[in-house]
């Protein structure tokens, strides 16, 4: 047996295996839930960031659309002026 320190609670425990990290199933489950929660939080943060970027992109697209419409109108006006001459 080997004495180890639990990765979750920090207590010393005797381990039968070389790769044991936790003193009890409760500490193992707690560590798993914490890892899972961290992944979920990171995913939620990424989703928030992507939504903001999408909103910004939509605004830029709308501005460009309005500019294209204005330029198209100007081209038509100039074209009509040249036809009338």
- How far is Cα 42 from Cα 8, in angstroms, rounded to an integer? 21
Per the structure, the complete domain to which residue 33 belongs is given by 2-84
Map tokens 């002026």 to a residue: 81
> In total, how many domains does the chain have?
1
> pLDDT digits over 7-43, tens only?
999 999 999 899 999 999 999 999 999 999 999 999 9
Q: Compute φ and ψ for 59, nearest 5 degrees.
A: -60, -45
Q: What is the pTM of this model?
A: 0.53
């Amino acid at each position: 047996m080997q004495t180890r320190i639990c990765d979750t609670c920090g207590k010393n425990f005797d381990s039968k295996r070389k790769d044991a990290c936790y003193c009890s199933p409760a500490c193992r489950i707690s560590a798993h839930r914490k890892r899972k929660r961290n992944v979920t939080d990171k995913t939620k943060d990424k989703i928030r960031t992507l939504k903001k970027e999408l909103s910004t992109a939509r605004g830029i697209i709308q501005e460009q659309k309005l500019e294209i419409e204005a330029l198209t109108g100007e081209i038509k006006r100039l074209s009509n002026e040249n036809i009338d001459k």
